[in-house]
Structures are given as C-alpha cells and as structure tokens.
Amino acid sequence: MKKLSIVFGVAALSLSGCASIMSGGSQTMTFASTPELSDITIFNKAGKKVHVGQAPVTVKLKRSAGFFVPERYSVVFEKEGYEKKTIDVSSHVNGWYVGNILLGGLIGLLIVDPATGAMYSLSTKETSIVLNALNKSDTTSDAQSLTIVSTTELPKGVLDKAQPIQVN
C-alpha cells in the first residue's frame, strides 16, 4: 500500500503543472488613477475590449492568448479635462513554470501550464497613473504675457516706443 501511494504521488506530480497549481490561468491586477474615477478601458493583444469601467478597479486578466501564446494588454485612462494615458501590460515566463523542469513534470512543462496559460505572469511598470490636466486658454483672463523678440527684428518705430523693465 505504501508503494502504491508513492507511485500515485509521483504520477500526480509528473502529470500536473507547477505554475497551474501555484498561480492559475488568470491574474488579478489593480489599476488606479489620480484624479480618481477616470474612465478605464482594457484591450487585449487582439484589440478586443476586455474591461470598461472607472479607476480604481481590480480586474482578473488571462495570462495567455492561447497555447504557448502570451497575452498582452493596453490599459487606457481617460477623464474630461485631462490628457489620455495608456500603459502596457506584458507577459513573461512565470517562475513556477521552471519548477516543472526541477520536479520532472514533463506533462506540466509541455501541456498543462501552456494550455492553462499559467506559464506566464503579467507585469507592468505602473498600475497607478497620474493624469495631467489639459491647459485651456482663457481669452477673458487678465493675465499678462511676455513676448521676447530680438531688437534687430523690430521696425525702428516700435523700438522707439519700447520701455525698459524695472527689476526690483
């Protein structure tokens, strides 16, 4: 009976995928923006919308786009009065996938983890974005402006009317 359990234990390890057991085929990611409540749209590498909502948001994204095909995402942040920003989410080989080599899981290495997508991890440099406010020109403003022009470019009549600026 003891030998039978050892055989089943070894068979289970060799038929499973380390990354599938430890990580799964999808990954939870959180995206936030400043200011909050910006519109967020997530596109997969095929250009299909996989999520539409408002930030901050936590979403579950698939790690792969098919057998041995890593997934990629573009996350677009938009808010009225602010510049639109896009970040990329890329895939790289999951560290647990290498466990198949170390633990002898050939089936996990070649079939299970690639089929479930668990062989990949998703990553991005940024998940919290600061949106820059758009500068709107206000023509009714009393703000003063300064224009610098070379004196060699001005007609003599204009240069005669020029006054030096007093700096205190």
Domains, the chain: 25-130 (2.60.40.10)
Enumerate residues 6+ apart whose C-beta is below 8 A from 134: 81, 82, 83
Q: What is the pLDDT of residues 123-165, one digit of tens each?
A: 988 889 999 998 865 445 556 666 776 777 667 777 777 777 7
Asked if pLDDT for residue 14 goes beyond 50, the answer is no
pLDDT higher than threshold 60 for residue 122 = yes
Distance of alpha carbon 28 from its chain centroid, rounded? 13
C-alpha–C-alpha distance, residues 30 and 76, integer Å: 14
Place of tokens 């970040």: 87
> For residue range 46-69, what is the model confidence (pLDDT) as tens digits?
999 999 999 999 999 998 888 888
What does residue 100 show for φ and ψ, rounded to 5 degrees?
-60, -35
Closest by Cα among 32, 117, 113 to 71: 117
Q: Strand order of the sheet with strand 73-78?
A: 49-54, 39-44, 73-78, 85-93, 120-123
pTM to 2 decimals? 0.65
Dihedral, 59, 60, 66, 71 alpha carbons, nearest 10: 40
**Number of DSSP helices (H) and strands (E) in the chain, helices first:** 6, 10
Burial class from Cβ neighbours inside 10 Å (0-12, 13-18, 19+) for residue 55 reads buried
